[in-house]
Amino acid sequence: MPSEAYVYDAVRTPRGRGRDTGALHGVKPISLVVGLIDALRERNPGLDVGRLEDLLLGIVTPVGEQGGDLARAAALLAGLPDQVGGVQLNRFCASGLEAVNAAAARIRSGWEHLLLAGGVESMSRVPMGSDGAAWATDPQTALATSFVPQGVSADLIATLEGFSRDDVDGYALRSQERAAKAWAGGHFARSVVPVRDANGLDILTVDEHPRPETTREALARLTPSFATMGEAAGFDAVALQKFHWLEAIEHVHHAGNSSGIVDGAALVLIGSEEVGRDLGLTPRARIVGAAVTGADPTLMLTGPIPATHKALAVAGLTLDDIDLFEINEAFAAVVLKYVRDLGLDPDRVNVNGGAIALGHPLGATGAMLLGTALDELERRDLRRAVVTLCIGGGMGVATVLERC
Amino acid sequence: MTDTIRYDRGADGIVTLTLDDPTQSANTMNRAYAASMCAVLDRLAAQLPAFPATLRKQLKGARLPAPEAILATAVEGAQVDVETAFTVETRHLIGLLTGQVAKNMIGAFFFDLKAVNGGAARPSGVDVAPVRRVAVLGAGMMGAGIAYACASAGLEVVVRDVSPEAAGRAREHAERLLARAVRKGRATEADARAVLDRITTTDQVDALTGCDAVIEAVFEDPALKKAVFAEVLPMLAPDALLASNTSTLPITGLAEGVDRPADFIGMHFFSPVDRMPLLEIVVGDRTGDEALARAFDLARRIGKTPIVVNDGRGFFTSRVIGRFIDEAVGMVVEGVPAASVEQAALQAGYPTGPLALADEVSLTLIQRIRRQFEAASEEYLPLPAHRLVDELVDAYDRPGRAAGRGFYSYDDGTRGRLWPGLADLVTDAGRAVPFTDLQERMLFAEALDALRCLDEGVLRTETDANIGSIFGIGFPAWTGGVIRYVRQYAGGPAGFAARAAELAQRYGERFTPPDDLVDRLAASAGRPAESVGTA
């Protein structure tokens, strides 16, 4: 009997700075996942792991210690029963939400009843891009499809939309302020599970990336990150050959208004109504719509706009029905464009900051945002949220969440 | 086994291999080699994403199949063993060899070029005395360039201008080019000295005594040109070749200024003379075969590729390139973003965007030439493009690159951004025209006018049209030339005619193809230069 897909719980690690001085640099990616599985079991005493069927993990750089289907290895190491499978999937930056949506669809199929979905990325240990990519490195492919790196795409969006350096810096500052306020106000308390070592000692209990002390002046001093790459390596030329009415790309993005490189993991417990009843778990929300779609690959980062429309159509809802929006802050211009195109009230978008302040652990972020949105709906006693991410290659994934 | 190989990677990424035991087997050596190659590929991998982008930047977006296939072959081949790599290479090569672009380019750069340089347009059986001593009238950019070209080829040159200082510019120009050649090792000091010794500069008419050819390169004013010829004629050898370097003025009219028009001919050089290989020889109504033969031989002697055309305002090259600039400026007037127009041309394979080109030529010159056309012909159609050029020159004082402002702004000679004020001078801001239409409007405007040049007899052969268009006015080389572009268009001349009719419907009568286009091209097909695909 097909069922609605319910979210029973959502947890995440704090995000550690994604470099060798980051707090989580000494923690293996598998350990981050196992820690969250343990936490879910602790938080939900009724959770009978014998009812779990699969663990879906988004991992964007699935090589080395993140390779070889880390999900299965993590399920085994966490002591889940042998029958619990594990699958790694990759939809670049939306992988964590892709895992959630895939799990929700499987629950709604009626074939399965209880799944764990989320993602992990130790960017300090497995560098972004170290898995190669035909799109970037195969000349035939890159030439035919106008490949440019994401940062150039973000600057291209800013140029097309007329977002100035001041506009994107202003947004970045707001992300920092909102994240600081959210941490101070305990808005993340329900989801964040400290990372502890084998001796039970805390390694990291809060997000390490935010810079609450940042000022507009400090941001204004940062050097654009993608100007050299764009100009010297020819990527600006590639973009301008396609967006031919522009004469030049204004490089406005830098480390301070782009998502932070961090380590982290997140998991969401998704199941049918029946399994909740059987195990005495209380559903926190339903996934009422989900969608993936493509958009222009050179512009690359506008996918959340059509994905949101598509997911809302699936849910039979309109923008007016949505209380909160969580869009991944890959780059400031991505959010500004999303807000502009959908005509949103900025005060309903990323109300607790986002990846510019908090960081973007690639494979995990989508699942993290889902938890953040759910916590905030509960805190404000609101009903629905849209969670969405822009994606490499020009895609978008969106999920519509409704509290029970 | 591997423990006998020491493998060190330096900070610069360079790998050093040390074999501990010199008696190791070949197999071990191979493994060491493989390990070093992996390290090299490792380093290369980080650079890989930039290669295609750099290629697209260097080619300005023109999608030429060979450079892309070469890059693909190199990268794909590096992933596999050498035998497989050869197979991969062969697959790419076959695709190129059988492709239309290779046929086009072999047709132009092998067959057509050979025909032109081999003298297909030179009157056969006309024996003429070679030119030995050339008088160049005018030491401006063109005159100086022509003098240098002649002197470099071993000819004696006398350059005359109104004052010794003015004439001396020709020598300074040669000195500059020779100094560069010596610096780059292309010439010795002695060579340079010998070339300079062959150049005499003067303000005296007497100094031209005995010259057996004159190439006039003064300002483009018919009265002035006639006057300088009248002045120097008495000094020259009685049968001297009389050549005018003009880019647009009809030769037949200029020949009226001399008493032996059979010896009068047009020699249209392109700027900069030392780098542009083309020479457009213009035969006036009364030009004799001997003059043509002498001009042709002179052109070959100084290393130029001479196409031969009949008289007409703008001849072939200046007339047809005018259609390119008119069409491009017209699109700007319509409201197509100027940057799109430039991109469309560059991505179509033109070496320079039409607006940048117009600035280089100077809008004032474009305006003057057009007014000459207007004055000379009642049929001349005023175009919206003309209004924009007039406004830029007359109302906004943006006459082109030399002044530091035209379609673009220039900072100390370096091209900057397009002038933002352009947006206010258009009729339909932000108009969307399909990108392919932008490209084909320029290509077709030139191709259709080249067809008309053939009709009117300005062009004598398709071969001259193809070579002249590529080497003189930057028609995209991948096409194999302006008429071959028509022949190779998808569907052949019929496909071209159908597309032209479509463009005529959308953008104006000027795209209406000649009625007999298809039959005419079919009738003349199969000549050696055109049948390269099966040759």
Q: What is the pLDDT of residues A105-161, one digit of tens each?
A: 999 999 999 999 999 999 999 999 999 899 999 999 999 999 999 999 999 999 999
Q: What share of chain A is helix, strand, coil (3-state, %, to 5)?
A: 40, 20, 40
* Contact check, Cβ <8 Å, A247/B344: no
Chain B nearest C-alpha distance from A128 (Å): 12
Where in the sequence is the domain holding B261, given as residue range(s)?
133-310
Question: Which of B52, B82, B100 marks a domain boundary?
Answer: B100
* Contact check, Cβ <8 Å, B57/A238: yes
Vertex A241 angle, CA A240 and A244, to 5°: 70
CA atoms in the 13 A half-sphere facing the CB of B183:
6
The band of B38, judged by pLDDT with boundaries at 50, 70 and 90, is: low
Q: Is A251 in the active site?
A: no
CA distances from A172 to A51, A219, B27 (A): 43, 8, 58
How many CB atoms within 10 Å of residue A281? Answer: 20
Q: What are phi and psi of A8, to 5 degrees?
A: -95, -30
* Whole-number Å distance between alpha carbons of B408 and B356: 7
pLDDT tens digit string along B292-308? 999 999 999 999 999 99
Query: Among all chains, which residue has been given the structure tokens 């220039």?
Result: B410
* Contact check, Cβ <8 Å, A233/B435: no
pLDDT tens digit string along A78-112? 999 999 999 999 999 999 999 999 999 999 999 99
The per-residue pLDDT for B531 is 35
* Contact check, Cβ <8 Å, A143/B50: no
Q: Count of domains in chain B?
A: 4
Listed by number, the residues of chain B in 343-402 with a beta carbon closer than 8 Å to a beta carbon of chain A are: 343-344, 347
pLDDT higher than threshold 80 for residue A385: yes
The band of B28, judged by pLDDT with boundaries at 50, 70 and 90, is: low
For residue B188 the two structure tokens come to 């010795």
- Asked if B491 is an interface residue toward chain A (Cβ–Cβ < 8 A), one would say no
- Whether B108 maps to a domain, the answer reads no
Instruction: Name every chain B residue with its beta carbon within 8 A of the beta carbon of A233.
Output: 49-50, 53-54
The per-residue pLDDT for B197 is 97
Distance of CA B117 to the CA centre of its chain: 16
* Whole-number Å distance between alpha carbons of A78 and A285: 26
pLDDT higher than threshold 60 for residue A388: yes
- Residue B438 identity: L
pLDDT tens digit string along A258-267? 999 999 999 9
* Contact check, Cβ <8 Å, A234/B53: yes
Q: What are phi and psi of A55, to 5 degrees?
A: -120, 115
Contact, B62 vs B347, CB < 8 A? yes
The per-residue pLDDT for B430 is 72
Are residues B412 and B266 part of one domain? no
Which uninterrupted H or E stretch holds A316? Answer: none
Chain B nearest C-alpha distance from A284 (Å): 45
Are residues B487 and B382 part of one domain? no
Are residues B72 and B7 part of one domain? yes
Closest CA to A302 of A178, A374, A399, A388: A388
Chain B nearest C-alpha distance from A134 (Å): 9
Helices A150-161 and A235-242: angle between axes, nearest 10 degrees: 50
* Contact check, Cβ <8 Å, A234/B343: no
Are residues B450 and B409 part of one domain? no
pLDDT higher than threshold 80 for residue B343: yes
- Asked if B223 is an interface residue toward chain A (Cβ–Cβ < 8 A), one would say no
Chain A residue with the nearest C-alpha to that of B344: A244
- Whether B110 maps to a domain, the answer reads no
* Whole-number Å distance between alpha carbons of B117 and A295: 52
Which uninterrupted H or E stretch holds B43? Answer: helix B26-47
The per-residue pLDDT for B517 is 82
pLDDT tens digit string along B106-128? 999 999 999 999 999 999 999 99
Which has more pLDDT, A291 or B527? A291
pLDDT higher than threshold 50 for residue B532: no
Instruction: Name every chain B residue with its beta carbon within 8 A of the beta carbon of A248.
Output: 417
DSSP state of B243: E
* Contact check, Cβ <8 Å, A237/B50: no
* Contact check, Cβ <8 Å, A241/B435: no
Instruction: Name every chain B residue with its beta carbon within 8 A of the beta carbon of A244.
Output: 337, 339-340, 343-344, 347, 435
pLDDT tens digit string along B462-513? 999 999 999 999 999 999 999 999 999 999 999 999 999 999 999 999 999 9
- Asked if B72 is an interface residue toward chain A (Cβ–Cβ < 8 A), one would say yes
For residue A110 the two structure tokens come to 């009626």
Catalytic residue among A93, A113, A187, A209: A93
Are residues B270 and B186 part of one domain? yes
Chain A nearest C-alpha distance from B419 (Å): 11
- Whether B128 maps to a domain, the answer reads no
Instruction: Name every chain A residue with its beta carbon within 8 A of the beta carbon of B435.
Output: 244
The per-residue pLDDT for B41 is 63
Are residues B404 and B291 part of one domain? no
Instruction: Name every chain B residue with its beta carbon within 8 A of the beta carbon of A229.
Output: 50
- Asked if B340 is an interface residue toward chain A (Cβ–Cβ < 8 A), one would say yes
* Contact check, Cβ <8 Å, B53/A147: yes
pLDDT tens digit string along A310-352? 999 999 999 999 999 999 999 999 999 999 999 999 999 999 9
Are residues B304 and B171 part of one domain? yes
- Whether B118 maps to a domain, the answer reads no
- Whether B450 maps to a domain, the answer reads yes
Q: What is the CATH number of the domain that holds B486?
A: 1.10.1040.50
Q: Is A404 in the active site?
A: no
Closest CA to A236 of A219, A224, A218: A224
The per-residue pLDDT for B97 is 96
CA atoms in the 13 A half-sphere facing the CB of A151:
19
* Contact check, Cβ <8 Å, A139/B53: no
Catalytic residue among B92, B173, B268, B386: B268
The band of B534, judged by pLDDT with boundaries at 50, 70 and 90, is: very low
Chain B nearest C-alpha distance from A254 (Å): 20
- Whether B115 maps to a domain, the answer reads no
* Whole-number Å distance between alpha carbons of A233 and B53: 6
For residue A314 the two structure tokens come to 């699936």
* Contact check, Cβ <8 Å, B50/A148: no
Chain A residue with the nearest C-alpha to that of B79: A138
Chain B nearest C-alpha distance from A240 (Å): 8
Of A118-127, A216-225, B19-28, B306-315, the poorest mean pLDDT is in: B19-28
The partner residue sitting opposite B52, judged by closest CB among A142, A236, A247, is: A142
pLDDT higher than threshold 90 for residue B259: yes
> Over the Cα atoms of chain B, what is R_g?
27
Are residues B402 and B484 part of one domain? no
* Whole-number Å distance between alpha carbons of A307 and A373: 17
Instruction: Name every chain B residue with its beta carbon within 8 A of the beta carbon of A238.
Output: 52-53, 56-57
Contact, B462 vs B107, CB < 8 A? no
- Whether B124 maps to a domain, the answer reads no
Instruction: Name every chain A residue with its beta carbon within 8 A of the beta carbon of B89.
Output: none
How many CB atoms within 10 Å of residue B429? Answer: 12
pLDDT higher than threshold 70 for residue B12: no
Are residues B298 and B260 part of one domain? yes
Chain-wide mean pLDDT for chain B?
Answer: 91
Spell out the residues 6+ positions from residue B154 whose beta carbon is closer than 8 angstroms to its own: B198
- Asked if B64 is an interface residue toward chain A (Cβ–Cβ < 8 A), one would say no
CA distances from B13 to A372, B4, B7, B9, B32 (A): 43, 22, 12, 6, 17
Contact, B358 vs B400, CB < 8 A? yes
Q: What are phi and psi of B459, to 5 degrees?
A: -90, 140
The per-residue pLDDT for B459 is 96
For residue B419 the two structure tokens come to 């002038």
Chain A nearest C-alpha distance from B56 (Å): 6
Instruction: Name every chain A residue with its beta carbon within 8 A of the beta carbon of B55.
Output: 139, 143, 234
* Contact check, Cβ <8 Å, B50/A142: no
* Contact check, Cβ <8 Å, A241/B56: yes
The chain A residues in contact with chain B (CB within 8 A) are: 132, 136-140, 142-143, 147-149, 229, 233-238, 240-241, 244-248
Catalytic residue among A113, A254, A390, A404: A390
* Whole-number Å distance between alpha carbons of B448 and B443: 9
Are residues B440 and B421 part of one domain? no
The per-residue pLDDT for B514 is 87
* Contact check, Cβ <8 Å, A139/B344: no
Spell out the residues 6+ positions from residue B15 whose beta carbon is closer than 8 angstroms to its own: B7, B8, B9, B35, B36, B39, B40
Q: What are phi and psi of B42, to 5 degrees?
A: -55, -50
- Whether B375 maps to a domain, the answer reads yes
Which uninterrupted H or E stretch holds A186? Answer: none
Which uninterrupted H or E stretch holds A277? Answer: helix A273-279
* Contact check, Cβ <8 Å, A235/B53: yes
Instruction: Name every chain A residue with its beta carbon within 8 A of the beta carbon of B340.
Output: 244-245
Chain B nearest C-alpha distance from A79 (Å): 38
Are residues B303 and B187 part of one domain? yes
- Asked if B91 is an interface residue toward chain A (Cβ–Cβ < 8 A), one would say no
- Asked if B227 is an interface residue toward chain A (Cβ–Cβ < 8 A), one would say no
* Contact check, Cβ <8 Å, A143/B54: no
Which is it for the CA torsion B227, B230, B235, B237, positive or negative? positive
Are residues B499 and B381 part of one domain? no
Contact, B155 vs B131, CB < 8 A? yes
The per-residue pLDDT for B533 is 33
Percent of chain B with pLDDT over 70: 89
DSSP secondary structure string for all residues of B366-422: HHHHHHHHHHH-TTPPP-HHHHHHHIIIIIS---BGGGTBSSEEEETTEEEEEPGGG
Q: Is the peptide bond before B493 cis (omega within 30 degrees of 0)?
A: no
Q: What is the CATH number of the domain that holds B302?
A: 3.40.50.720
The per-residue pLDDT for B530 is 41
